Amino acid sequence: MTDPTQGRAFLIVMDSVGIGGAPDAAGFFNGDVPDSGANTLAHIARARPLAMPHLDALGLGAALRLASGQDAPGLGAAPQGLWGAANEVSPGKDTPSGHWELAGVPVPWDWHYFPDTRPSFPADLSRRIAAAAGTGGILGDEHASGTEIIARLGDEHLRTGWPICYTSADSVLQIAAHEEAFGLERHYSLCVEVAAMVHPMRVGRVIARPFVGGPGSFARTPNRRDYAIAPPGDTLLDAAMRSGRATHSVGKIGDIFSHRGIGAEHKGKSDADLAAQLMTLAETAEPGSLTFANFVEFDSLYGHRRDIEGYARALEWFDGVAGQVMARLRPGDLAIFTADHGNDPSWTGTDHTRERVPVLGWGLGPRAIGQVGFVDVAASIAAHLGLQPVGPGKSFL
């Protein structure tokens, strides 16, 4: 049962909002270009000043300076919250690695990545995917941008019925199919079967990418679904649930953690829907509960598409959301705003960038925590909730 004397915890991930400066960035690449020098937040702010008064008041600008030594036009208020920067140790710059490590479980293996060749998938795997789909083959079989490959192969998909399969620099296999012609439930079932094929290979995720429309007007729908490999150890969510605490996931958190350790999942068609869910939870979540949220559109709509202005608008919109969430929190609560990796829209290529991330906290007053590890976030939230320690991290509270 939850403890009514305890405050609640909210772990809120701004997907891909990196702040540069990862010490090992030279070992991670977009194409042939290393991620050294990538800085999602600073480069957006240099393109046009950012108005983010709520998160900046917690210490966003200060965290950026700490992580990379850079300033961002529009940011730089004197911190009034807990603030610092976090480094990742997992051998990846992807969604599962970042989220698992924030929840106390660094990735203990090297992910499998499909080569940037055509075909990209092993021939036997492609045959097994086609057999599972009941089709004569698959389309794509390459590294590609999701919107580009749907525009290029959507017509052929409608003619043949073959699923469009593609990958990227992440450990992922994505399957695009037309919601009406192929069928949404059939699409999901196919992804479940394919996930069982590739998870033993240490491929992190199979992602269903439904779309609608016709030639020249194909568009992805909000019905994406991620089928992720299970975390290799107990996470913060598992620890909270084992202790009888209420746990809530907002957005794709449930998918990332294979729905483990989660009592209630809150979904939406957009980040705006998720913002409404999070604001409601800030008012109604149980005493002693843990809410874990992900806001994905920074990454999916603007980072990968290298849309600097769109990313800037999304950051400013989310800052307003953060202000409304903080206004609904109670004395004794802790809210941590952070990120899982970078995705610098000014950088070459279309992939994630290896960066430090901000750690901004509401509920403890001004407190500089310096540079910490992703795992220290899990340890700190566990300490706040009075849970047994989670993972190898140390609490910064």
| Chain segment 284-327, per-residue pLDDT in tens | 999 999 999 999 999 999 999 999 999 999 999 999 999 999 99
* Mean pLDDT score, 250-269: 96
User: At residue 232, does pLDDT exceed 90?
Assistant: yes
User: What's the half-sphere exposure (Cβ side, CA atoms, 13 Å) at 211?
Assistant: 27
- State the chain's mean pLDDT as an integer: 96
* Confidence category of residue 1, pLDDT binned at 50, 70, 90: very low
Is 32 among the annotated ligand-binding positions? no
> pLDDT tens digit string along 175-224?
999 999 999 999 999 999 999 999 999 999 999 999 999 999 999 999 99
- In this predicted structure, what is the pLDDT of residue 31? 84
Q: How confident is the model at residue 2 (pLDDT cuts 50, 70, 90)?
A: very low
Q: Is the pLDDT confidence value at 3 over 70?
A: no
| Angstrom distance (rounded) from CA 271 to CA 19 | 21
What are the Cα distances from residue 44, in Å, to 34, 153, 198, 344?
Answer: 19, 32, 36, 8
pLDDT at 5 over 80: no
Q: Is the pLDDT of residue 4 over 60?
A: no
Determine how many CB atoms are found less than 10 A away from the CB of residue 104: 27
Q: Is 384 assigned a ligand-binding role in the annotation?
A: no
Pair of tokens at residue 75: 């940011």
Instruction: State the distance between the two ends of the chain, measured CA to CA, in whole angstroms.
Output: 24
8 Å CB contact between 63 and 361: no
In angstroms, rounded to a whole number, what is the distance separating the alpha carbons of residues 251 and 321?
Answer: 15
Question: What's the rounded Cα separation, in Å, for the pair 336 and 334?
Answer: 7
Q: Answer left, alpha or beta for residue 213, where phi above 0 means left and psi between -120 and 50 means alpha.
A: left
Measured in degrees and rounded to the nearest 5, phi and psi for residue 95 equal: -65, -55
The pLDDT of 153-179, averaged and rounded, is 97
pTM for the model: 0.93
Residue 137 vs residue 349, higher pLDDT: 137
> How large a percentage of the chain has pLDDT more than 90?
96
Check the annotation: does 299 bind a ligand: yes
Determine whether the annotation assigns residue 352 to a binding site: yes
Q: Using pLDDT thresholds of 50, 70 and 90, give the confidence band for residue 169.
A: confident
Which tokens hold the place of 228?
A: 């992720």
**Does the annotation flag 15 for ligand binding?**
yes
Those residues whose C-beta lies under 8 Å from the C-beta of residue 280, and which sit 6 or more positions away, are none
Residue 358 has pLDDT above 90, yes or no: yes
User: Residue 243 half-sphere exposure, CB side, CA atoms within 13 Å?
Assistant: 22
Q: For residue 126, what pLDDT band results from cuts at 50, 70 and 90? A: very high
**361 band by pLDDT with thresholds 50, 70 and 90:** very high
| pLDDT average, residue stretch 327-342 | 98
Tens digits of residue pLDDT in 27-76: 999 989 999 999 999 999 999 999 999 999 999 999 999 999 999 999 99
pLDDT for residue 100: 98
What distance in Å separates the CA atoms of residue 330 and residue 319, rounded to the nearest whole number?
Answer: 19
Helix (H, G, I), strand (E, B) or coil at 134: coil
Kindly state the average pLDDT of the residues 247-253. 97
Contact by Cβ (8 Å): 319, 298: no
Looking at the DSSP assignment, which residues form a beta bridge with residue 172?
205
20 pLDDT higher than 80: yes
* Cβ-contact 206, 194 below 8 angstroms: yes
Model confidence pLDDT, tens digit, residues 6-17: 899 999 999 999
Q: How far is 155 from 392, CA to CA, in rounded Å?
A: 50
Residues with Cβ < 8 Å from 175, sequence gap 6 or more? 129, 163, 164, 165, 187, 190, 191, 194, 206, 207, 208, 209
Is cis: bond before 119, omega within 30 of 0?
Answer: yes
Cα–Cα dist 169/58, whole Å: 33
Of 246, 252, 312, which Cα lies nearest the Cα of 13? 252
Q: How far apart are CA 130 and CA 122, in angstroms?
A: 13
